[in-house]
Structure 1
Amino acid sequence: MYIKRNEAGELIAISKIAGSDFVEAVADDAQELLAFIQQEKTAEQLALEQTDQTMARVLEDVVNLLVEQGVIRFTDLPDAAQHKLLNRRELRGKRQGIYLLDDGDNLHL
């Protein structure tokens, strides 16, 4: 990505192509670039992103319910969906395992 800065050195615009005002190249994952993109999002875009995360969990729960009730088989799902669901289940399991190790009851065994 190519960026344009103001006199204070602040990033004010980005472009995919180099141009007369866009001569400084930065990596696509540069923190400054990511922060700029994030701050330019509208309130609606940010709200939609937040609901995307909760909606993904709802869909996972629906798939699990359908599988448990025998409506569908897990193997009926496309391979990519199976891998993503298994990956998320594994990650959630690791996260829950962390909490199980320290549940805050301060019992000394």
Structure 2
Amino acid sequence: MVYVQRNANGRLVRVQREPFEGAQGLAADDPEVLAWFNDAALDARLQSLQRSDLELVRVLEDLVTVLVDRGVIRYTDLPEVARRKLEARASTRASLGGLSSLVDEDDERLF
């Protein structure tokens, strides 16, 4: 058994395993409850993927820096749009240099 709260349209807006004020009991295998938890699980996976994407951005920035530093590619080989984005991110990171204890990134410029 789980406990649910519905909105004015009858849609689930809250599902908990413990009772709460105004809760209605539903079977844990009710299709609505299963759909709620599937949506929540999907949302959690999508949020995890988004966090991973943000972390991967920094990895790619570092990769570009290494390739340029080793002469594998020239910075000017990159499309202008990519260079502008890399420069904007490097500039933003540099401006956060005073917050380095709060931010888990280097405060060095890319190029």
Query: Normalized against structure 1, the TM-score is what?
Result: 0.53
**Counterpart Cα distance in 2 of 1:42 and 1:98:** 31
**Aligned residue in 1 for 2:72:** 71
Q: CA RMSD in A?
A: 2.6
- Aligned pairs for 1:1-109 (under 5 A) are 6-7=7-8, 42-99=43-100
Q: Work out the percentage of aligned pairs sharing the same amino acid.
A: 39
Query: Could you tell me which amino acid in structure 2 is paired with residue 94 of structure 1?
Result: S
Q: Where does structure 2 lack aligned partners over 5 or more consecutive residues?
A: 1-6, 14-39, 102-111
CA radius of gyration, larger in: 2
The one-letter amino acid of 2:47's match is L
How far is 1:97 from its partner?
3.9
Who is 1:24 aligned against? Answer: none
* Cα offsets for 1:46-84 (capped at 9, x unmatched): 000000010000000000000001110001001110000
Q: Which amino acid aligns with 2:91?
A: E
Structure 1: stretches of 5+ with no match in the other structure: 1-5, 13-38, 101-109
**Count of aligned pairs between the two proteins:** 67
Structure 2 length as normaliser, TM-score? 0.52
> Aligned pair in 2 of structure 1 residues 75, 98: CA closer, same or farther (>3 Å)?
same
One-letter amino acid matched to 1:73: R
Q: CA separation in 2, counterparts of 1:99 and 1:45?
A: 28
